[in-house]
Amino acid sequence: MQKSLHLDPNKCTGCLQCEMACAWEKYETFTIAKSRIKVFTFHHEGRFVPYTCTQCDEAWCLIACPVDAIKLDPVTGAKIVLEPTCVGCKVCTIACPFGTINYVAQTGKVQKCDLCDGDPACAKACPTGAITYVDADWTGLGKMRAWAGKTDTTAATA
Amino acid sequence: MAWTRNVLRVNLSAGTCTPEPLNMTWAQDYLGQRGLATKYFVSEVDPKVDPFAPENELIFVTGPLTGTMASTGGRYSVVTKGPLTGAIACSNSGGYFGAELKFAGWDMLIFEGASPKPVYLLLIDGKAELVDAGSLWGKTVWETEEEIKKVHQDPQIRVAAIGRAGEIGVLYAGIVNDLHRAAGRSGVGAVMGSKNLKAVAVRGTRTDSYPLANPKAFLAATEAAKKVLAANGVTGQGLPTYGTQVLMNVINELGALPTRNHRDIQFEGAGDISGEAMHRKRPTDGKANLVTNGACFGCTIACGRISRMDPGHFTVKDKPQYQGASGGVEYEAAWALGAANGVNDLEALTYANFLCNEHGFDPISFGATVGAAMELYDLGILTKDEVGFELPFGSTEAMVKLAELTARGEGFGKEIGMGSRRLCAKYGRPDLSMTVKGQEFPAYDGRGLQGMGLAYATSNRGACHLRGYMVSPEVLGIPVKMDPQATEGKAAMLKAFQDLTAVVDSAGICLFTTFAWGLADIQPQIQAACEGDWSPERLLLVGERIWNMEREFNLAAGLTKKDDCLPPRLMKEEAKTGPQKGAVSKLDVMLPEYYEVRGWTAEGVPTAGTRARLGV
Amino acid sequence: MRHVIIGSGPAGVIAAETLRKADPAAEITVLCGEGEPPYARMAIPYLLKGDIDEAGTFIRKDQDHYGRMRIGLVEGRALAVDTAARVVDLGDGPGLPWDRLLVATGSRPSREKIPGIDLPGVRTCWTLEDARALLAGIRPGTRVVQMGAGFVGCIIMEGLLARGADLTILVRSGYMVRRMMNPTASGLIRRWCESKGVKILTRTQPLALSANGGALKVDLGEGRSLDADLYLSVVGVDPNLEFLAGSGVEIGQGVVVDANLQSSVPGVYAAGDVAESPDVVTGKRQLNAIQPNAAEQGRTAALNMAGHPTRFKGSFVFNVLTTLGLAASSFGEWQGVPGGESTEVLDESRFRYLNLQFDGDRLVGANCVGFGDHVGAFRGLIEGRRRLGAWKRRLMDDPARVMQAYVETAVPACGAG
């Protein structure tokens, strides 16, 4: 059974430990701008929403990459950026309709969540259980993806 | 990532931004944040300086653990000479701003001089520039933050700003970051306003890492310390669920909740404005005041209150900007806006708290000053003609109206904006000002909690609960339970708390961790982050050094033993009700003992021996 | 089943790989026309900059990949297609027979029609061979006059400067990248280039080129001229379609395809730069010569060829380019729609700009300069035709909050208030 990150906004307090853990895991820095998971704050709703790549089946980024710099990890299902191969053309960043693959100016490469080889640092760092790494069936990810693929939806909070 | 070793010196008069290396010798002696910035401040500023003169400096500073995975590692402080007190001012804030300042590469920003026109400082990675703020002047904190993010097209920019209160010199104006986190006390925002500095906006994406002395040990130490927070009843359950508001009923029942300008020591409406009340569904709209708890940067406690008001409440009925969620009342604010003036309307307190955040002024000093004004009114010294409306104790309408007027510097709000000491002096009753060194008390009565009384009297920045939180031993039994009315051992315990607090405030972490953490939990985190030897003994010495340095500044500024006092009401008027009934402050017993354990003379001056021992 | 794919760019390669997965028994042949392993033109700017070597441009790094996947790479150019006999004419030999044919021939640089365009010293930048010539021909101080500042013209500048070129850009219209960016964005990119030492002459195009010793004279008319060591002509691209003349395949601007990317001739499909397919937002048929479109069409066409009917959800016009380090992107109807609303915010001194176009409460287009994070959300919002509700007004106030708008409107687990 493949596992997925389960992100539960209702448990998130916006502490950003996950962002630091991610930045540390990948770059040995706490600079959260380097994090591949982001907590979005909706101040007026009092909501904190952790968000990162869902490792979607469509793999828009992987398919759009012109130089084969994004690979599928057969064990975790993660789409992984091969930094030495990436040329930094940014095509994947506009191809991903989820906005979860980003260019990093300092490295000249793109970055995205790679599930840390199946032991995600963000989930380990989350103090409230808002981020967990669980069997894919439990995540509601399918529902999330299906929704994201639909059109003409009206914002729930609109 | 301990120290970035970069200081930015901003000369607002000349409009220049000049980086300089951090003085690492001082960093070894004063750690960071409160201690280190104060060292810079006292070395560069004449203690007699007029707080509003360009010669006063304003320093924003982070600690070595700011912007790290240490729980609560997101704090920054603002150090200046306070206009409310004339003493050293050091105001500490959470939110996300401090960590971002670190990520942008700065330990410290030193503002000198005064800008000829409104500006804000924009810090993007290593770059620093002063940007014209003409169009932002007069705008609220909330509008300013939104506008800066919009103009620079980056929602991740963090902003610390002053509102109208800081611009017009409300003496307890604060600096608000991330919309509802504040360096709130002592008027640091008014100093910022006097320098025509509207905001500091910061964004740090740089990868340069500032090495931790021992990364592996640091991650292990922070991980272990987080477990301690999670397992502790206060930090693991009480604070996340009720925030600091967990204290409202506790302190009231204990008989230490100052009420109606300290006339009473218990508030009959405490339950209505408590943490429990924030969870209750309102009869009007079926929703609770509290939406959720929120964390500051890196905080695994998450005590922050995020509240949404009843949209039908009279204060916000036609004002959609207050109908969304925002920073709700913490204990001190709920007390000051509520019990201190006899108001028990939680929604009104929330509204007034929103105004404090929106316009940038301290709800503690504001609420307490309203309480003093209400007493002056009650005594017939202040009249409806002077105020413009009725001002009886318990008037929700009057409290709210004064918050609006104070924010804008209009009408009687101008008087309230001076703070309680100046207000009461102006009307001939200085004895009615519930202040120390000109700063209003927070939410604990020095008669009910003797140690807190001593803490207030000796606090270097005026009355303050965050300089030596004797509530811990006197109420919560941390680290040991002490009888609230006892005087014995209080001086020594307070000194220990004051010194430890100075360390915590200099490290970049939140004081609230000390409900669960002792020095044994904190020290390994500092040791692993910072180069050098940071033994527990040395840390306490650093804390004591900081305390004495602040004391020396205040003495040089003209303060004396006479300023280590409590208002006559606390010394003479007996507590009327509750478990502490009949109590008055026994400060006169505790103070000499305190001077002694501090190694000070009977006049409260550090002895030559103490100075030599601490190297001040 | 014999599948033949004409063209070894991203559309062709992805189609071949998709076919292999979908149809393990099929015979798959890819016709390569340049004598190179399949490579990505998108990577050429980085080759010029010196970031990568030629192998870094290859679409698949492991050259055994194609053999392992039993994809036959055949060198040659299609001269014609006989759709009745189902054979691709390669000029010599018996031709390539097919059961299903994919036209993925891409495009080639447009040719300026001016005297002297065939002189030595005139180059374009499109193929690996072009890149080799530029790498060999540009030294520190080489005077390069570049005609054209479209997508290609912009992304190669950094490489030219990295080689030490003294660069002058001629722009026929008043605006750089005018097919992607509005005048404000374009002006910002221009000032950025000028701040990096590039000379830019707008409303300028050469009348003729002439040899001038070992160099070139670029005649700009009215007595004006420029001396150049190298004239670089990058004035846009045209689809490679000529070989389809007489095949019966309907040609408009490109190969006209239906929702399954099949042309007017059953069994003949098209993908990538040559395919004229309906736009996902407007429904209008158009060419869409961008990398992600090529990749997605290659995959979809292959699934249909393998007998798995798959609708192409429509091509989406968007692109991203980096000009001397300044990122800019454009999405959908960035020029706006009739009756729509727009909002923009410009931070000129920091080279940041954002323009959003709305139709009702839907985002339909955007232009961004210097705005980097989460740009994919623009695609998600526009292509998904998301109703923004209250976020419309918030984005009108502050366009940079687009990712927040996306997160809250697109993900129910997050958005349910």
Give how many domains chain B has, as a whole number.
3
Residue C320 distance to chain A (closest CA, Å): 6
H helices of chain A, in order, are: 17-27, 60-64, 91-95, 121-125, 141-149
pLDDT of residue C316: 85
Instruction: Give the burial string for B169-206 (b: 16+ CB within 10 Å, else e).
Output: bbbbbbbbbbbbbbbbbbbbbbbbbbbbbbbbbbbbbb
Indicate the pairing of strand B76-81 with strand B58-62: antiparallel
Pairwise CB contact (< 8 Å): A29 & B300: no
Indicate the pairing of strand C100-103 with strand C96-97: unpaired
The kind and range of the H/E element at C276 are strand C275-278
Residue A138, pLDDT > 70, answer: no
In a domain, B132, yes or no: yes
Q: Which residues of A fall within a CB distance of 8 Å from B69?
A: 17, 20-21, 24, 30, 125
Q: Which of A100, A101, A158 sits opposite C388 (nearest CB)?
A: A158
Q: Which of A13, A30, A105 sits opposite B69 (nearest CB)?
A: A30
Residue B532 phi, psi (nearest 5): 105, 175
- Chain C window 335-374: which residues touch B at a Cβ cutoff of 8 Å? 345, 347, 350, 352-354, 370-371, 373
pLDDT of residue B150: 96
Residue B359, pLDDT > 80, answer: yes
- Please, are residues C83 and C245 in contact by the beta-carbon 8 Å criterion? no
Instruction: pLDDT band for A145, please (50, 70, 90 cuts).
Output: low
Q: Which of B68, B209, B240 sits opposite A28 (nearest CB)?
A: B209
Q: Check which CATH number belongs to the domain holding B596 and give it.
A: 1.10.599.10
The CA distances from residue B173 to B75, B101, B110, B361, C47, in Å, are: 19, 22, 19, 4, 57
Q: In this prediction, what percent of chain B has a pLDDT beyond 70?
A: 99
The mean pLDDT of chain B is 97
In a domain, B103, yes or no: yes
Q: Which residues of A fall within a CB distance of 8 Å from B294?
A: 13-14, 46, 48
Pairwise CB contact (< 8 Å): B153 & C401: no
pLDDT of residue B227: 98
In a domain, B251, yes or no: no
pTM for the model stands at: 0.95
Note down the domain range covering B181: 6-203
Kindly state whether C396 is in contact with chain B, defined as any CB-CB distance less than 8 angstroms.
Answer: no
pLDDT in tens, B558-591: 999 999 999 999 999 999 999 999 999 999 999 9
Instruction: pLDDT band for C413, please (50, 70, 90 cuts).
Output: very low
Kindly state whether B146 is in contact with chain C, defined as any CB-CB distance less than 8 angstroms.
Answer: yes
User: Which superfamily does C2-108+237-305 belong to?
Assistant: FAD/NAD(P)-binding domain (3.50.50.60)
- Please indicate whether the domains covering C2-108+237-305 and C122-233 agree at the CATH topology level: yes
Q: Which of the residues A51, A67, A71, A152 would you substitute to probe the C interface, choosing the one with the greatest number of C C-beta atoms within 10 Å?
A: A67
Kindly state whether A99 is in contact with chain C, defined as any CB-CB distance less than 8 angstroms.
Answer: yes
Q: Which residue of A has its CA nearest to B222?
A: A125
Average pLDDT over residues C317-345: 96
pLDDT of residue B556: 98
| Interface size, chain A vs chain C, as Cβ–Cβ contacts under 8 Å | 186
- Please, are residues C220 and C226 in contact by the beta-carbon 8 Å criterion? yes
Q: Which of A90, A102, A153 sits opposite C387 (nearest CB)?
A: A153
pLDDT in tens, C196-239: 999 999 999 999 999 998 899 999 999 999 999 999 999 999 99
pLDDT of residue B58: 98
pLDDT in tens, C75-111: 999 999 999 999 999 998 889 999 999 999 999 999 9
- Chain B window 117-136: which residues touch C at a Cβ cutoff of 8 Å? 124
Residue B113 distance to chain C (closest CA, Å): 26
**Where are the domains positioned within chain C?**
2-108+237-305, 122-233, 325-414
Asked whether residue B280 falls in the same domain as residue B422, the answer is yes
Residue C415, pLDDT > 50, answer: no
Please count the other Cβ atoms lying within 10 Å of the Cβ belonging to residue C118.
8
Pairwise CB contact (< 8 Å): A88 & C404: no
Pairwise CB contact (< 8 Å): A101 & C376: yes
| Interface size, chain A vs chain B, as Cβ–Cβ contacts under 8 Å | 93
Q: Which of B124, B150, B156 sits opposite C398 (nearest CB)?
A: B150
Question: What single string gives the DSSP state of each residue in A39-70?
Answer: EEEEGGGTEEEEE-----TT-HHHHH-TTS-E
Pairwise CB contact (< 8 Å): A15 & B324: no
Amino acid at B426: K
pLDDT in tens, B502-559: 999 999 999 999 999 999 999 999 999 999 999 999 999 999 999 999 999 999 999 9
Average pLDDT over residues A40-50: 94
Amino acid at A41: T
Q: What is the ipTM of this complex?
A: 0.96
- C81: which DSSP letter? E
Q: Which of A8, A98, A156 sits opposite C412 (nearest CB)?
A: A156
Q: Which residue of A has its CA nearest to B293?
A: A13
**How many CA within 13 A on the CB side of residue B570?**
30
Asked whether residue B472 falls in the same domain as residue B521, the answer is yes
Kindly state whether C250 is in contact with chain B, defined as any CB-CB distance less than 8 angstroms.
Answer: no
Asked whether residue B288 falls in the same domain as residue B403, the answer is yes
pLDDT in tens, B18-72: 999 999 999 999 999 999 999 999 999 999 999 999 999 999 999 999 999 999 9
pLDDT of residue B207: 61
Q: Check which CATH number belongs to the domain holding B269 and give it.
A: 1.10.569.10
pLDDT of residue B211: 82
Residue B303, pLDDT > 80, answer: yes
Pairwise CB contact (< 8 Å): C408 & A49: yes
Q: In this prediction, what percent of chain C has a pLDDT beyond 90?
A: 89
As its CATH architecture, domain C325-414 has 2-Layer Sandwich (3.30)
Secondary structure (3-state) at B75? coil
- Chain A window 110-139: which residues touch C at a Cβ cutoff of 8 Å? none
Secondary structure (3-state) at B292? strand
Q: Which residues of A fall within a CB distance of 8 Å from B219?
A: 24
What is the signed CA dihedral for B177, B182, B183, B186, rounded to 10 degrees? 140
Residue A154, pLDDT > 70, answer: no
Residue B191, pLDDT > 50, answer: yes
The domain C122-233 is placed in CATH, from the list 3.50.50.60, 3.40.50.2000, 1.10.10.60, 3.40.50.300, at: 3.50.50.60
Asked whether residue B415 falls in the same domain as residue B463, the answer is no
Q: Which chains touch A (3 or more CB pairs under 8 A)?
A: B, C
Q: Which of the residues A44, A47, A49, A107 would you substitute to probe the B interface, choosing the one with the greatest number of B C-beta atoms within 10 Å?
A: A44
Distance, CA of C203 to CA of A16 (rounded, Å)? 51
pLDDT in tens, B94-114: 999 999 999 999 999 999 999
**How many CA within 13 A on the CB side of residue C350?**
19
Q: Which residue of A has its CA nearest to B322?
A: A44
Residue A23 distance to chain C (closest CA, Å): 16
Q: Which residues of B fall within a CB distance of 8 Å from A128?
A: 302
pLDDT in tens, A56-101: 998 999 999 999 999 999 999 999 999 999 999 999 999 999 999 9
pLDDT of residue C414: 40
pLDDT of residue A156: 35
Q: Which chains touch B (3 or more CB pairs under 8 A)?
A: A, C
Q: Which residues of A fall within a CB distance of 8 Å from B1?
A: 29-30
Instruction: pLDDT band for C371, please (50, 70, 90 cuts).
Output: confident
pLDDT in tens, C300-321: 999 999 999 999 988 888 999 9
The kind and range of the H/E element at C131 are helix C128-137
- Please, are residues C238 and C110 in contact by the beta-carbon 8 Å criterion? yes
pLDDT in tens, C152-169: 999 999 999 999 999 999
